Structure 1
Amino acid sequence: MKKKTWFGLWCLLLSIMVAGCSGGSGSTAEPGKTSGEEPDQPAAADAVELSFWYGWTGPEAEALEKLIAKWNEAHPEIQVKGLSQSDYQKQLTAITGGNPPDVASQFGQNVVPWGLRGAMMPLDDYIAKDGVDLDDFVPAALSTSQHEGATYAIPTAMHVSMLFYNKDILKEAGYDGPPETLGELKEYIQALSIVEDGGRLSRLGLWPGMDAYTFSYAYGGSFYDEAAKQVTPDHEGIQSAIKLSKEIWDQYGSDNLDRFSSGLGQYMSAQNPFFSGKYAMTVDGEWLPTFIKQFAPDLNYGIAPIPYDENHPERKNPGNVTTSVFYIPKGAKHPDASWAFIKWMTEPEQMAEFTAAIGNLPTRTSAFASPLYENVPGFKEFLDYSASENLKSFPATSFTNEYMTEFSAQVDAILRGTVSIEEGLANVKEKIQPLVK
């Protein structure tokens, strides 16, 4: 897969997150048939029927359908019909058109923008009535669904990144283990990269357009000052993260990096650059060990925390959290029944069953100890990491998507030298600050 800049890497990460959350082969039901048309048991004569639109497809949809069937068997009074619908824009169209599903899934970054537009029902009354323990949720995951005291969705799965490293390549270079600090990371990248005559790259220690969100948090960065109502893309920590990427990028040059990236293999294949040894290290999510098992079972690799700022050891185990959520659309015909289903789906037992099946992380800490995760590749490291107090999520605001899009575009321009770091981040602030309400 061709990856030229950090923005390209971020898009790749997002696309793989979608793959990890959504699969890739369409609905598991027969054409024209939804999952609930043939329940295992007859529905009660006066049963409430819920329509449930979700974004997962393929094997992930199959795992979800098993839980839907389990619910339907145990709750004849509320029957759920699932429909794999990965076009999330259709959800918004249905909601604004007054014909929404009763329950739906969504990505966490869309929750607050949609909630503030009135597309999602606040769930706080239901949460209080049923005594749902919000303290059981990973704070960074829950924050993607909340804004100014209102909770618009319940996160059911989350995603974080860690550092993957090729043990054999590191050993050949004289390293016994992965880099622990950001200073060491820079040293490792230089030592593990191979530059041929004329600047041609044959291996990179780590792609220099690194995840700017994750590494901004590693440097203590913050994207928004809630008290001052100010966007802060020029925060010192964010600038430090971009400077690190820029220094490494400039060491090799855009032309050489473009030439190198043009020859890289597809992500979901044995030619994945990390699997094939083109990358000595990579930053990726909890789904990667499953892909390694499938495409590169003999790869000798390790999983390590994201390196931290050596000047601030209190920032160890940093990370950026994204989520998948369940919510009740505005105008849902049976909101009480919809909530009952969401509450059940996000209880620890069902959450563990679903996330273990699709290779995603649970958002409830009480689910971490489930034995269902024991056979999921790489999950011990990721579950341990999920308990870190230094995991953050991008600020949940009405302008989250616009902010992330502009920030990514400007980081791209900074790395390629079109604008300076100061100019690029000033451009972000100039464009996004007027959106703050």
Structure 2
Amino acid sequence: MPRTGRLTTATALLAAISALATACTGQGADTASDDPKADVTLTFWHGWSAPSEARAIEENIARFEKAHPNIKVKVTGNMTDDKINQALRAGGDKAPDVVSSFTTDSVGKFCNSRAFADLNPFLEKSGVDKAKVFPRTLLEYTEFNGNQCTLPLLNDAYGLVYNKTAFDAAGITEPPRTWSRFVEVAQKLTTPDASGDSYERVGLMPTFHGYETTPMRLAAQWSPTYFAADGSSNLARDPAFAKMLTAQKDLVAALGGYEKLERFRNTFGDEWSAEHPFHTGKVAMQIDGEWRAPMAKEAGVGFEIATAPLPVPDDQAGDYGKGYLSGTVMGIASGSRKQNAAWELVKYMTTDTDAVVAFANAIHNVPSTLAALESPALRVTPEFKTFLDIARHPKSSTTPARADGGTYQLTLTDFAYAVEKGDVADIPAGLARTDRQIDTDIAKAK
């Protein structure tokens, strides 16, 4: 399952993490005093809730305990970030030692507030060269200002999942590689209903409320730079953002306009059910992650499914294959008095190739280490291979960590909502205002 709802969760989470700043000072490998070879029980909290996911965690923990017979792990699943942060603020024996979070966007807050311990000393003491273990982009979203307070635990890549049967019927022989071709294909696959006021099918739901279609995932295809060298917001100065917003707004217009599309979107089923609009044939192309194709197959769709990278701007055709990356993170609570033992668990789950591959195979996510990406034990379907290739692409990117966590992304998203609705007459000027708001929010967070 994907790491869905990060931005929504981050809104409520940021204030909670801020409260930790004065309470958490953190430890390092040189100051943690516990003996990792002593008999100990760790508490590990994670957010997975589906039976198959919980089972995959338990299987990984069982393998860890077999390799570390002195360490027992008490696992609690389906833990929200709010619950985690409440426990971290309270401290004591009821707080977790190890945490896995879906809220990648808040890593900057985790690090800045010292809610999680800096793992750099642990990595160094263990002889783990993180640059040789993890893809560069994943390291970007798991550290902040040199503080590696989390490590990647599996990875999400975003691309295009499409109805190949519909493509074939329309005479479309390959997925679109450039944005201009993407618009053409989306229009060709769009079928109005009998009234002409709605649709039988849209080639793509392009609005930013359309599940996984976010400004950040589209912007990745333009290879943007979110922040300048001095740390200030760079949205207005980098033409990538204005180009992306203009292209998306034009696509919305080409497919019938914002209001018409939003009325149709309101007929969609739940994103995580068999009634997802891609499953039911209401949408021919879906911007989504590696989980969508297997979910569609489990839903019993009556058409052939294929996957591809998202298209790139026409002037960046040579970069086709790149995409947006994010994922789950894992860290050690700063208040834990069992940090050396906790590090053994974190090290195993995030760096052990067999453990990473087994977990990726079990829950259909992209592996988060370079070795696991190339492992012959990794189960690879044609649909899944697309996302592995996106994860490996040298120009795939993510959203950088900042002291205010994901607030800057929320600010950009709010502006993008206004653009697609037609409420913004001057996109560059609006981006400049957005920059000022982002800079103000980050200054307050610091």
TM-score category by the smaller chain?
0.7 to 0.9
Structure 2 unmatched runs, 5+: 9-35, 208-212
User: 2:230 aligns to what?
Assistant: 228
Aligned-pair distance for 1:59?
A: 1.8
User: 1:197-346 alignment to 2 at 5 Å?
Assistant: 198-209=196-207, 210-225=213-228, 227-234=229-236, 235-251=238-254, 252-346=256-350
| 8 Å contact kept, 1:52–1:104 | yes
How does 1:82-101 map onto structure 2 within 5 Å? 82-99=75-92, 100-101=95-96
Match of 1:415 among 415, 420, 436: 420
CA distance in 2, matches of 1:16, 1:398: 16
The separation in 2 between residues aligned to 1:301 and 1:344, in whole angstroms, is 35
Aligned with 2:439 (options 429, 433, 437): 433
Match of 2:364 in 1: 359
Aligned ranges for residues 154-165 of structure 1 at < 5 Å? 154-165=151-162
In the other structure, the counterpart of 1:189 is 186
The DSSP-based 3-state class of the residue aligned with 1:302 is strand
1:169 aligns with 2:174: no
Q: Does 1:14 align with 2:4?
A: yes
Comparing 203-212 with 139-148, greater Cα deviation is found at 203-212
Give, in angstroms, the shift of residue 307 of structure 1: 0.8
Q: Is the partner of 2:204 in helix, strand or coil?
A: coil
Change (3 A) 1:13 1:110: closer
Secondary structure at 2:315 match in 1: coil
Conservation of the 8 A alpha-carbon contact between 1:290 and 1:377? no
Conservation of the 8 A alpha-carbon contact between 2:178 and 2:311 = yes
Alignment of 1:92-171 (within 5 A): 92-99=85-92, 100-107=95-102, 108-134=104-130, 135-171=132-168
Contact (CA 8 Å) 2:106, 2:404: kept in 1 or not? no
Q: TM-score, normalised by structure 1?
A: 0.86
Q: Whole-Å Cα distance in 2 between the matches of residues 297 and 79 of structure 1?
A: 43
Q: Kindly tell me: are residues 187 and 262 of structure 1, through their superposed partners in 2, closer, same or farther at Cα, counting changes over 3 Å?
A: same
The aligned amino acid for 1:62 is R
Partner of 1:38: none
Cα 1:77/1:90, change in 2 over 3 Å:
same
Check conservation: 2:161, 2:293, Cα contact below 8 A. Answer: no
In the alignment, is residue 67 of structure 1 matched against residue 52 of structure 2? no
2:40 to 48, 51, 55: 48
Q: Against the structure 1 CA distance between its residues 271 and 415, is the aligned structure 2 distance closer, same or farther, given a 3 Å change threshold?
A: same
Superposed displacement of residue 351, structure 1: 0.8
Deviation at 1:372, TM superposition (A): 4.0
| Per-residue CA distance 1:386-434 (angstroms, 9 max, x = gap) | 1101111101111231111111111112111223333542342221112
Q: Give the Å deviation of 1:199.
A: 4.1
1:212-259 CA-partner distances (Å, limit 9, x unpaired): 21221212222112x122112223111111111111223312331122
In structure 1, the gaps of 5 or more residues are: 1-11, 19-43
CA RMSD, aligned part only? 2.4
What's 1:23 paired with?
none
In the alignment of these two chains, the number of paired residues is 400
Aligned partner of 1:201: which letter? Y
Paired amino acid for 1:203: R
Residue aligning to 1:30: none
Amino acid across the alignment from 1:222: T
Q: Identity, % of aligned pairs?
A: 28
Amino acid of the structure 1 residue aligned with 2:284: A
CA contact (8 A) 1:414 1:424 kept: no
Question: Which string of whole-angstrom CA distances, capped at 9 and with x for unpartnered residues, describes residues 273-305 of structure 1?
Answer: 212221121111011122012103542121111
Query: What letter matches 2:342 in structure 1?
Result: S
TM-score, normalised to structure 2, is 0.84
